[in-house]
Amino acid sequence: MNRETILDWTDAQVVLKFDEHRNVKYQIYREGAGLFLEMRNSEDEPIHTLELPDGMKLDRSSYEVLLRYVLLDVVAA
């Protein structure tokens, strides 16, 4: 399948609970008909890939809100 980068790797510091944070990097890409947000830790290890709903191309701050929710979910699991 053809992969198109929408937003190249971007570093982010995501605030969790109680003044905790995680340093991550993420990218947004389109593959086939799907739009994906891929997140990796600072050691470049995969954390999670989230398929975004159709038509959900957001601005950078909105993607970082999604990162926080995904990280909180992953940490809670």
The full set of domain ranges for the chain reads 3-76
pLDDT the model gives residue 55: 65
Confidence check: pLDDT of 77 > 60: no
Residue 41 in contact with residue 24, Cβ under 8 Å?
yes
pLDDT the model gives residue 12: 85
pLDDT tens for 2-51 read 889 988 998 888 877 777 788 889 898 989 888 888 999 889 999 889 88
Specify the pTM. 0.76
Confidence check: pLDDT of 56 > 70: no
Residue 51: closest CA among 72, 71, 65, 30:
30
Write out the H or E segment, with its range, that includes residue 72.
Answer: helix 60-76
